Structure 1
Amino acid sequence: MSQSQSVEFSALVYGSFVASLLEMTEDVEEVNKKLDEIGYRIGLRLAHDFGRDDSLERIDTPDKVVGNVIEKKWPSLSHSNKQVQTQVDGKNIILTFPPSIFTQNVQIPELYSGVHFTGMLPGILRGIFEIFHFRVNTTLLEQSEQVGTKVQIEVVEEIPIAVPKTDD
């Protein structure tokens, strides 16, 4: 299976998964919560995998989580050369992920128009930040075929670690 076929297959599986959640609950808000929760668990797992990368330097600021983890790892996760756009304003970070097969080929029925089809992404980001010791609030700002997916990250606090930063 080629890489593009694999991405298309993943999009079909994900679409079927979202449709199944809608069939089970028929509650758009509940589906959005579930997608965020599942994304959070995926983010924890991804961050553990990223943390094993020997070339990864010490991550001790939210900017480093964005620059050294999310921006560097996104192309391999998305199978795309398109970069994540970043805006930083104090403790708020806005990440704009380029349009993908998940935003380009999705048609959600009017009845379910409130479904955040890319709703796993805020949870994934929350999980990644948590592994690197930052508590954040994430908000899906936009998901569209033209813009892609825009997520706001508000850094709430640094999670204390048992070992001081100076000790390795």
Structure 2
Amino acid sequence: MSRSLNRKQEIYKIDWQLPAVSSSASAHHISRDLFVLSYGALVAQLCKDYERDEDVNKYLDAMGYNIGIRLIEDFLANTGIKKCRNYNETVDVIAKVAFKMYLGITPTMIGGNDGGNGFSLILDTNPLDDYVEELPSGRSSLSYCNLLSGIIRGALEMIHLPADVTFIQDRLRGDDVTEIGITFLRKSDEKKSKRNK
């Protein structure tokens, strides 16, 4: 009896350790695909749990925010990037370094509103919606990739750059591209940095 019990326990032992981070593209691709599929399952479950799209959007944003406040430390440690001189440079780093590093894409940056504190990131492709053709029926105001806006907002807040981050266009809502708007909530310190040079 004890022998069959031990055997049963061995069957249920699962080694959940993931392979060490590899520089090979295939290892990165597998983990990205796993993340994208897991994310789709998460959004589907949230849609079952919450009737209103606003609640799902808020939950995804809060989850992203929590990821962002932790992810910034990894980003700074692995890139060695120092303080950016202005908002334009900050958004450029987000587009060309952070998105490339974590999602394997490089969005196009469109800069500045009249105040110089508003920018847009245009994503021609979005890995989070690779396996999604359209939003679930009855979910027209769902912001499927709202996790990204939360991540950006959380990371920026940790480096003392509070910002409002929202989806302006979304391919899943019928737009040609996905556009994320970033509006910094403080005036730029560009004049200060020019004086200090």
Asked if 2 retains the 8 angstrom alpha-carbon contact of 1:22 and 1:31, the reply is yes
Map 1:144-159 onto structure 2 (within 5 A): 144=171, 147-157=176-186
> Which residue in 2 is equivalent to 1:112?
139
Residues in 2 aligned to 1:83 and 1:24: alpha-carbon distance in whole angstroms: 33
Asked if 1 retains the 8 angstrom alpha-carbon contact of 2:95 and 2:109, the reply is no
Larger Rg: 2
Residues in 2 aligned to 1:4 and 1:53: alpha-carbon distance in whole angstroms: 19
Residues in 2 aligned to 1:48 and 1:10: alpha-carbon distance in whole angstroms: 20
> Which residue in 1 is equivalent to 2:50?
25
Asked if 1 retains the 8 angstrom alpha-carbon contact of 2:95 and 2:106, the reply is no
Shift of 1:94: 0.6
Change (3 A) 1:55 1:2: closer
Residues 106-115 or 87-96, more deviating: 106-115
Shift of 1:60: 4.3
- How many residue pairs get matched? 162
Residues in 2 aligned to 1:9 and 1:148: alpha-carbon distance in whole angstroms: 24
Asked if 1 retains the 8 angstrom alpha-carbon contact of 2:61 and 2:149, the reply is yes
Q: 2:164 aligned with 1:141, yes or no?
A: no
Shift of 1:19: 1.0
> Which residue in 2 is equivalent to 1:162?
none
Residues in 2 aligned to 1:128 and 1:60: alpha-carbon distance in whole angstroms: 17
Using the size of structure 2 for normalisation, the TM-score is 0.71
Q: 2:148 aligned with 1:125, yes or no?
A: no
Asked if 2 retains the 8 angstrom alpha-carbon contact of 1:94 and 1:152, the reply is yes
Q: 2:120 aligned with 1:94, yes or no?
A: yes
**Alpha carbon RMSD of aligned pairs, Å?**
2.8
Q: Which runs of 5+ in 1 are unaligned?
A: 159-164
Q: Which runs of 5+ in 2 are unaligned?
A: 1-25, 188-192
Residues 6-15 or 23-32, more deviating: 6-15
Using the size of structure 1 for normalisation, the TM-score is 0.82
Identical residues among aligned pairs (%): 24
